Copies of this chain bind each other. A is one copy, B any other.
Amino acid sequence: MINYFSSDFKLGILGGGQLGKMMLYDTRKYDIQTYVLDPSDEAPCKIACNYFEQGDLMDYETVLNFGRKVDVLTFEIEGVNVEALKALEAEGIKTFPSAATLEKIQNKAVQKQFYTEKDIPTAPFKTYQKIENLIADVESGARSLPFVWKSATGGYDGKGVSVIKEAEALKELPDAECIAEEMIPFKNELAVIVARTPSGEVKTYPVVEMEFHPTANQVEYVICPARIEDHVAEKARAVAQKVSEAFEHVGLLAVEMFQTKEDEILVNEVAPRPHNSGHYSIEASYTNQFEQHLRAILDLPLGNTDSKVGGIMVNLVGDKDHEGEVVYENIDKIMKMDGVTPHIYGKKITRPFRKMGHVTIVNENIDEARKVAEQVKGEIKVISRS
């Protein structure tokens, strides 16, 4: 085994945001040396890594030169230069997940086609090189409304995805490669995180459920375990594992899925890294997702993915009417509630809907946690200093 602990071994992380910041808690716990590259001089990772470099993650030379400084390279964001990863792999620098895997995932059209090839269930779709081809399909009646439009590249946090209900809306779409997907009426939106090592050890986390706001079309709570039947949960975990193995993915893969009205599982999309849907694991799981990602990419034994207690995660996003220096109003009130842990990502400036942190609520009883989560949601506000 390579000696990772308190040694000269160096792990590189592309991206220095909150996911990297939380990963650093665990590199610190194991005393693994870390190098971080991020475009922002105020990246949350800037402290707690051993070496920080400011630079463009999409720039070939920048990523190549950064990667040459480390022994193993990983990323906390998909938007990185894949060609540079390929060059680094050719030089013998281990990149996990691999450039080949990331390349398939970065482009949603390629990702969807891959599911079809690998016999992985997903919503029916068609890919379009240009927006005019999609418009022609709609005009000819070959594609009926409504449907889901997804940009093949560049989507993030709900950007690059739209439900198209009328032809008029097509005019607003960018002229870029895209997918049109059938709208699937679903019971639940689920996610499963899979961990896989270079040696091929695989473990799946329990299924989590995204609970949506009853009127606004927004995820309010990520709930673990999902309140679904056991046979559905087993199917979801099996599908997620199949996806991970198809990609020959190494590290964490978050697989987002729909549970249809007929209890079918359809893969929506994947993220090849620690994921928002796994944040609950810091407080609730035997092995949190960040530690598990490290274990996976370093080919260490994977930890137990079971939960100690039920967990619910609420995102802390900037209030829609506030922009400026951040204040977490009523944070002391939520800290009084049972089993509540706020996580503050360290961004100084709040903006409408900016992800500023999250709150985890744990309880042996998931229904009890759900009640507390609603109280948390009702109290805390991310606003700007008046």
Contacts and interface: CB of A to CB of B under 8 A. Distances in A.
Interface of A: 1, 3, 5-6, 21, 24-25, 28-31, 47-50, 286-287, 291, 295, 300-301, 303-304, 308-309, 326-328, 331-332, 335-336, 338-339, 341-348, 362, 364
27 contacts: A1-B332, A3-B327, A3-B328, A5-B331, A5-B342, A5-B344, A6-B326, A6-B328, A6-B344, A24-B28, A25-B29, A28-B47, A28-B48, A28-B346, A29-B343, A29-B344, A30-B342, A31-B346, A48-B48, A286-B339, A286-B362, A287-B341, A301-B332, A303-B335, A304-B338, A304-B339, A308-B364
A343 B32 CA distance: 11
A31 B28 CA distance: 16
Nearest to A32: B344
A365 to B, nearest CB: 13
Contact of A30 (B308, B338, B344): B344
A12 to B, nearest CB: 16
Closest 6 CB pairs of A and B: A301-B336, A31-B344, A48-B48, A31-B346, A308-B308, A301-B335
A367 B6 CA distance: 32
Contacts of A362: 286, 308
A159 to B, nearest CB: 25
A29 B328 CA distance: 14
Contacts of A291: 341
Contacts of A304: 338-339
Given A21-B28, A24-B28, A28-B47, 19 more contacts: A3-B328, A5-B326, A5-B328, A5-B331, A5-B344, A6-B326, A6-B344, A25-B28, A29-B344, A47-B47, A286-B338, A291-B341, A300-B332, A301-B335, A301-B336, A304-B338, A304-B339, A308-B308, A308-B362
B346 A6 contact: yes
Contact of A25 (B25, B31, B348, B364): B25
Contact of A48 (B47, B287, B347): B47
Central interface residue in A49, A308, A326, A338, by most chain B CB within 10 Å: A308
The CB with the most chain B CB atoms within 10 A, among A29, A309, A343, is that of: A29
Contacts of A50: 47
A6 B318 CA distance: 14
Contacts of A21: 28
Contacts of A28: 21, 24-25, 47-48, 346
A161 to B, nearest CB: 30
A339 B48 CA distance: 26
A332 B4 CA distance: 10
A50 B342 CA distance: 20
A328 B6 CA distance: 9
A332 B336 CA distance: 39
A295 to B, nearest CB: 7
Contacts of A348: 6
A209 to B, nearest CB: 21
A298 to B, nearest CB: 10
A262 to B, nearest CB: 36
A285 to B, nearest CB: 10
A117 to B, nearest CB: 35
A47 B29 CA distance: 12
Contacts of A301: 332, 335-336
